Chain A
Amino acid sequence: MTPNAYVRSTGGGFARRAILVCARMFDESMLPDVTLGEDEPAMARVLLVVSILGALALLILYGVLFPGSDIPALGDVVSLLGGLANSGIWIFLIGILVGFGMIFANVLGGALED
C-alpha cells in the first residue's frame, strides 16, 4: 500500500492500520476484529466520575421531587443490615470503608511482595 499524505504526516502505525482495516471493511464487507483501542484519554476517568456524581445528584433530585418517599437506605435493601444501616449515609460509608480496605490491602501487598 502506498502511504498517502496523512500516513506520512503522522508517521504512525495507527493511521496505516486504520486504513488497512477500513480497506478490508469496504473490500470484504467484514467488521474489524476489535473495536476497543489502546488509548486511554486523560479526561476519560474524569468523565466517568462526573457521570457518577451526576447520577448521585439525580438521586438527590428524586428526593426533592418526591419528598414523601425517601431513597431506601442500605438497611432497607439488605435485611442482614436492617438493624445497623438505617440511614442513607451508609451507602456512602461503604465506599469509604472499601477504600480504607484497599489502602490496607495495598500496604500489605506491597510489604509482603518486597
Chain B
Amino acid sequence: MKKAALLFSAMFLILLAAASSFAGTLADVKAKGILTCGISEGVPGFSIPDSTGTWVGFDVDMARAVAAAVLGDSSKVKFVPLASKQKIVAVSSGQVDLTSRTTTWTLKRDAKQGVDFTHVVFYDGQGFLIPNKLGVRSARELNGASVCVTAGTTTELNLADFARANSIKVEAVVFDGKKEALNAYAAGRCDCFTTDISQLASLRSTLKDPKSHSILPEVISKEPLAPLVRHGDNQWKDIVTWVINGLVAAEENGITAANVDKMKASAENPVIQRMLGTSGDTGSYLGLDKEWLVRAIKAVGNYGEIYNRHFGPETPLNIPRGVNNLWVRGGLQYALPIR
C-alpha cells in the first residue's frame, strides 16, 4: 500500500512539474520544432489527404503559413484530424496549438469555451445554385422560383427571411437530406438549390454537367470561418491573427509567392517595406524575426493565391470570390495595417 501511495504521489508530482513547465505556445512550438494543427477529416477544398497522402486545402495552407512564419519551414506541421466534437476541446486542452478547421466564429465559443478566434479566413454562408440556362445573375431575381432546401434546418428559415426582406416570393420544396434535395434539383423539380456555398460547390461537382450550373454571388447567412487558438495566450493569438492578416495585406499590395523576393529587394512603397521587414521590425512585436511574413508568403502565396488554388475558377469547386474578395473589390477581406 505504501509503495502504491508513493508511486501515486510521484506520478502526481511529475504531472504537476510538466504542467508548470508549460510556457507560452510560441516557446513550446519553437522547442518542439513542429506546429501541431487540428484540421477537418476531409472537407473538399478545405482539407483532404490527396492521393499521394499529403494534406492539402485552404485550411491546411493557413497552418503552413503560420509554420513558415514561426519555424521557417512550412512542412513542419503535424496535422491532427479532428472530429467536429473535438475541435474546440483539442485547442482549449492544449492538444493542438491551433485549429484551422471550418469553425464558425460565435460569441459562445469565443467567450465561454476557452478558445480565441483569430482572423476570418472564409466568409461562408447560405448561397444558391442555379442552372445557367435560366440566366439569373442575382438571388434578388429569384421571385417566383421554387427552391430545393433541406427540412428543419436553419437553411429553411434563412431562405424565408431572405425572401421576406427582399419582398420576393419563393416556393420552398423541402427534402430530408442534402443528397435528396440535390437529386431533386438535378432532376429539375426546382429552379435552384440552397445550402452553404462551400457545400454547394462540392455538391455541384458531382452533377452530370457541373459547368452548366453556377453559384449566385449572394451569401444570405453568416458562417464566418476562422482558425482558433487557446484562450489566454495573447502572443500566440497575435501571431496567428497577423500572419493570416499579412496574407490578405500581401494580396492588397500585389505581393505574390513568385515576386516576394523581388519586392523585398526593390519595393519603394513604405507599406510593403514594413511588411517585408526592409524597414522597421514588425516581427519583433510578435516575438518573431524580420522576415516572418516573407517566409509565409513564399510558402503558400498571398490570400488570393491560396483561394484560387483551392476554390478558384480552375478548380472543380469554382466558388466565386463574392464576399471573400478584397474590400476594394466589394468583398469583406480587409487587411489591418501592419506597422
Pairing of A with B: no
A interface with B by C-beta (< 8 Å):
none
